[in-house]
Structure 1
Amino acid sequence: MPTPASRSCPSCGDRMEIHALPAQYGGEVEIDFCFGCHGLWFDEMENLKLAPQAIATMFKEMHRHHDAPRTPLAARLRCAECRGGLVQGFDLVKSGRYITHRCPSRHGRFSSFSSFMIEKGFVRQLTKPEIADIAKKVGSIHCSACGAPVDLRKEDACSHCRTALSLLDPQAVEKALQTYAHAPARPSWGSPSDVADAVVAMEKERSRAQREDPRLAFTSPNAGVLGVDLLSVGLVLFSSLWDD
Structure 2
Amino acid sequence: MQMPDSRPCPSCHDAMEVHVLPGQYSGEVEIDFCFGCQGLWFDHMENLKLAPEAIVTMFKAMHQHRDARHQPLAERLNCPQCSGPLAQGFDIVRSGRYITHRCASRHGRFSSFSSFMIEKGFVRQLTRPEIADIAAKVGVINCSNCGAPVDLRKEDACSHCRSALSLLDPQAVEKALQNYAHAPSRQGWGSPTDVGDALVAIAREQSRAQRQAAGTTITGPAAGVLGVDLFSAGLALVAELWSSA
The answer to whether 1:101 aligns with 2:101 is: yes
Q: Where in structure 2 are the equivalents of 1:199-218 lying within 5 Å?
A: 199-214=199-214
Alignment correspondent of 2:170: 170
Aligned partners of 2:216, 2:14: CA distance in 1, in Å?
A: 20
**Within 5 Å, which residues of 2 pair with 1:20-169?**
20-168=20-168
Letter in 1 for 2:236: V
Assess if the C-alpha contact under 8 Å between 2:41 and 2:109 holds in 1: yes
Contact 1:178 1:184 survives alignment (8 Å): no
Contact conserved, 2:56 with 2:177, CA < 8 A, in 1? yes
Query: Once the 2 structures are TM-superposed, how far is the Cα of residue 144 of structure 1 from its aligned partner?
Result: 0.3
Runs of 5+ in structure 1 lacking a partner? 218-222
Superposition CA RMSD, Å? 2.4
Residue 90 of structure 1 aligns to which amino acid in structure 2?
F
Mapped partners of 1:163, 1:179: distance in 2: 25
Aligned partner of 1:153: which letter? R
- State the identity as a percent: 74
Give me the whole-angstrom Cα distance separating, in 1, the residues matched to 2:240 and 2:99.
28
Deviates more, 1:207-216 or 1:20-29: 207-216
In the alignment, the residues of structure 2 paired with residue 28 and residue 206 of structure 1 have an alpha-carbon distance, to the nearest angstrom, of 37
SS in 2 for 1:6: coil
Partner deviation per Cα, 1:13-55 (whole Å, 9 max, x = no partner): 1111111111121121111111111110000111001111111
Query: Structure 1 residues 33, 83: closer, same or farther in 2, change over 3 A?
Result: same
Q: TM-score, normalised by structure 1?
A: 0.88
Q: Deviations over 1:177-215 (max 9, x none)?
A: 345333322323374323222222222222332344328
Task: Kindly indicate whether the alpha-carbon contact (under 8 Å) linking 1:149 and 1:225 is maintained by their aligned counterparts in 2.
Answer: no
* Structure 2 residue ranges without an equivalent (≥5): 218-222
C-alpha displacement of 1:159: 1.1
Distance 1:32 1:201 in 2: 33
Distance 2:228 2:65 in 1: 12
User: Aligned to 2:26, what secondary structure does the other structure show?
Assistant: coil
Q: Do the aligned partners of residues 118 and 162 (structure 1) sit closer, same or farther apart at CA in structure 2, a change above 3 Å counting?
A: same
Counterpart Cα distance in 2 of 1:128 and 1:165: 10
Normalising by the residue count of structure 2, what TM-score does the alignment of the two structures yield?
Answer: 0.88
1:55-94: CA deviation from partner (whole Å, max 9, x where unpaired): 1111111122223332111111100111110111111111
Partner of 2:226: 226
The answer to whether the Cα contact below 8 Å between 2:208 and 2:224 also exists between their aligned partners in 1 is: no
Structure 1 residue 225: Cα displacement:
7.4
